[in-house]
A and B are shown apart, each in its own frame.
Chain A
Amino acid sequence: MSTLHFVALAPFIMAIIIPFCYFKFRNIHTGWFVLPLPLILFIYLLTFIPFDGQLFQPVEHAVPWVPSLDIYFTVYLDGLSLLFALLITGIGALVVLYSIYYIANKNNEPLHNFYVYLLMFMGAMLGVVLSDNLIVLYVFWELTSLASSLLIAYWFHKEKSRYGAQKSMLITVSGGFAMLAGFSLLYVLAGSFSIREIVSAADSIAGEPLFLAAMILILLGAFTKSAQFPFHIWLPDAMEAPTPVSAYLHSATMVKAGIYLVARMTPVFGTSAEWFWILIIFGLTTLTWGSISAIRQTDLKGILAFSTVSQLGLIMSLLGMSSAALHYDIVNTETLYTTAAMAAVLHLINHATFKGSLFMAVGIIDHETGTRDIRKLGGLMAIMPVTFTISLIGLASMAGLPPFNGFLSKELFFTASLNVASLDIFNLETLGFFIPVVAWIASVFTFVYSMLIFTKTFTGEFKPDNYSKHVHEAPAGLLISPIILGVLVIVFGFFPNMLAYTIIEPTMQSILPGLTSGDDQFYINIYHWHGLNAEIMMTIAVIFIGAAIALNLKKWQTSFFFARERDPLNYVYDGALDQLVIRSQQITRAQMTGRLSDYMLYMVIFISSLGLWTFFRYDALAIDLSGDQSIPAYMMVLTFVLLAATLALPFITHRVTNIALLGVVGFLIAALFVVFRAPDLALTQLLVETVMVVLFLLAYKHLPEIKKESKNKGSHLIKGVVAASVGVFVIITSLSVHALRNDSDITPISDFFIENSKSLAGGYNMVNVILVDFRGLDTLLEVLVLAIAALGVVTLIKHKMHGGEDV
């Protein structure tokens, strides 16, 4: 165990302690006990950053977990893991601080639940980004889904919370299962669960038939987690969670787990055209769809949720574009193709900062006014100046305005899309021009919804009647975290290069290994001003057209598309879920009839058809009718009477006749035993049959007449045919067994009994010697069966039911 293992495990250990703190110190807000942990982890992780400009040296520690299955709890810290771990712990600390003021202690909130879930999530997320072993990664991955659902349903008495939690659980866990299948396929291909070993084997597995299947399954996991189209529908419903949770899980960290996975897997899958196209198409679709849907929302958190969806799509498409770089083995510091990777990493950081601060600002507005509905809000600029400033910075960054950090990543996004469109790989020469066009359109909508939040919330007229509370600025404690994030937005905006060599370069090294050799590394430089190029023109156009649309939005709001706030894909999801329940009930009702005869039919049909199919499939039918002994006349008579009595049984409903026929059959069987030289059998059969007939005659007096079966000819016919087919199946099987028995060289073991029953057991009756001596255990247990049956009979007759008791 190294210290890095404890980075992932410490939150879990802390989660065990937290309930004690909650119950022991009721006066102190539980959040204060949680706060030091992410802070310590954050500072510890900061020490790994190569501030002296050295090449980042990855750290690795392995602890065996299930070594026989190649499962090691290996922590591997490279640039990519470090970036995510810093985001998780840093924003985690800010969110904990914010939640201390957001969820007040006084209302008897179950705070211990909240922080246990939050810590569980933090540990799971750190586990995801630090694990090098795919199975360990999967375990932590599912833990994040679980923790997320628990947090969404934190106010579990609200129906919408439970609905949102169930939806996110169903979607992310089914994606997780697909991912597990993909991991298993990767293991089959590469022979290892270790990500680094798979990366080093990437060249050899690229052409394998399972390669594409593994890729798609893993991408399903990443897309469901990162809310990519069409799996994004759980994210807006997850906004029922407390706002600190939305800020932490559903904007900054958990939804980026899918991004992390895609970035991690880029060295494995990135060389294929499918990877490139799937990421670009789904990323751009999500980007556009999310940004358009955000405009339709009236809830501030709804807008931010769709905005998150859209931004995640942007990062996903950038990761797709960056995989194009893997096709050129040029070590080029100013390379055209690695811009996309740089943009993805930069936007990842930027999005975490500005979206976190925006969620917190929205939480403050909700907290201080009692509503998040943009139709009620307005004119808060003068009343909540600090919140307004934070929001303005966040919104400007989100819209991509200079000088904030969103501008930088948006410019780079345009650059990357223009670069990729000019490539001539993967059929890009024909379709490539779509990419910058779609990117540009989505940016326009991004600008529109950012402006929408601004105008609807902060400008306009202040109407005190709309609010249930006295509206005022938030307390200082609530403002600390968003202020820190807002400051980061500005700092990263003005000094982007402080991120460059510390974190972005090592991260790019992890996403695109093999492009640099030896001590070489990526050197990037981020500028605000590139000169008057295409990107800046696109941004200017975004601002003007976006502003025009935003100002005229009222004209389109009545249209069909804008009238509905809910994403239309939700109807597909709800319908599918309803249909699943209805159809499975229908199947169960149709199949589980509660009729013994139906269940008999199922079993008999299945067994007979399986048997018959096996006969023909394996050509096992071996019927040999020759060589049979001649049948003496008395046997003919015996058999005829036996069969006549048997066949009469189903047709006679008179009970005494039935019992008599049963007796006839039993006694004739005894006679057959006599013929086949089995005296003991004949004796037992006679006795048992006599007792049985007596028993039936005793019981029939107490039983009703056998009812006439229903007149339905069809059901009789079916039963008859099924019964006959069982007979045929038994006959065919037996005949084959009989025929094959003569062919085989196996000699019966009975010779042993015949030779030794006198010498070893001292008995002359071989059957009895076998029963009590050679195979005495059978007899012992058979006696036990009889004893139990007798006890059961006595109980059934003697035991009287008491009131309300059922049989």
Chain B
Amino acid sequence: MEILMIFTSGIIIAVATYLFMTRSILRVVFGVVMLSHGVHLLILTLAGLETGAPPLLTEEAAAYTDPLPQAVILTAIVISFGVSAFLLVLSYRTYKEHDTDDLEELRGNPNE
């Protein structure tokens, strides 16, 4: 199971890297979102995917899933959401000011 998940997150991260290198700001923002997905999944996977009960004591199970990576990922999700939202508005504002969201056209005057 872990190996499948490792490959999955690897592919997600590869796609994110590709999106970073495209010309549209919007797609770069997509890349940020994808990268955070891949990393969250990787954190969970590398902490171990043992089959225990969900980390709720009311379950009264013999073994629980590791709660720490879940707490870490929860924090990471919120932060990446904040960052992605900010980047999205930034790309919106950039487009409003410069009439383009093409990174190639946003390079400016080379003689500046």
A residues whose Cβ falls under 8 Å from a Cβ of B: 593-597, 600-601, 604, 625, 628-631, 635, 639, 642-643, 646-647, 649-650, 655, 658, 662, 665-666, 669, 672-673, 676-681, 684-685, 688, 691-692, 695-696, 699-700, 702-704, 706-707, 709-710, 719-720, 722-724, 726-728, 730-731, 734-735, 737-738, 741, 748-750, 753-754, 757-758, 763-767, 770-771, 775, 778-779, 782, 785-786, 788-790, 792-793, 796-797, 801, 807
Contacts and interface: CB of A to CB of B under 8 A. Distances in A.
A701 to B, nearest CB: 10
Interface residues of B, number: 86
A635 B48 CA distance: 16
Contact of A650 (B13, B15, B73, B96): B15
Contact of B78 (A650, A684, A766): A684
Contact of B42 (A734, A754, A766): A734
A631 B65 CA distance: 18
Interface SS of chain A: helix, strand, loop or mixed?
helix
Given A594-B108, A770-B71, A629 B1 contact: yes
Contacts of A758: 57
B66 A734 contact: no
What 9 pairs between A and B have smallest CB-CB spacing? Answer: A727-B14, A789-B82, A731-B10, A723-B18, A766-B67, A597-B21, A766-B55, A770-B71, A594-B107
Nearest to B46: A737
B21 A723 contact: yes
Interface SS of chain B: helix, strand, loop or mixed?
helix
Contacts, number: 260
Interface in B5-26: 5-15, 17-24, 26
Nearest to B7: A731
A649 B42 contact: no
A595 B78 CA distance: 29
A767 B46 contact: no
A764 B58 contact: yes
B37 A665 contact: yes
Contacts of A642: 8
Interface string B68-112: 101101110111011111101111111111101111100110100
Given A677-B54, A741-B46, A786 B3 contact: no
Contacts of B30: 649, 658, 662
A692 B32 CA distance: 12
Nearest to A715: B21
Interface of B: 1-15, 17-24, 26-28, 30, 33-34, 37-38, 40-42, 44-49, 51-58, 64-68, 70-71, 73-75, 77-79, 81-86, 88-98, 100-104, 107-108, 110
B86 A679 contact: no
Given A631-B1, A662-B33, A685-B77, A727 B10 contact: yes
Given A677-B54, A703-B95, 7 more contacts: A600-B21, A646-B15, A649-B15, A749-B68, A771-B71, A771-B75, A796-B86
Given A669-B41, A770-B67, A771-B74, A789 B86 contact: yes
Contacts of A685: 77
A655 B77 contact: no
B57 A807 contact: no
B96 A766 contact: no
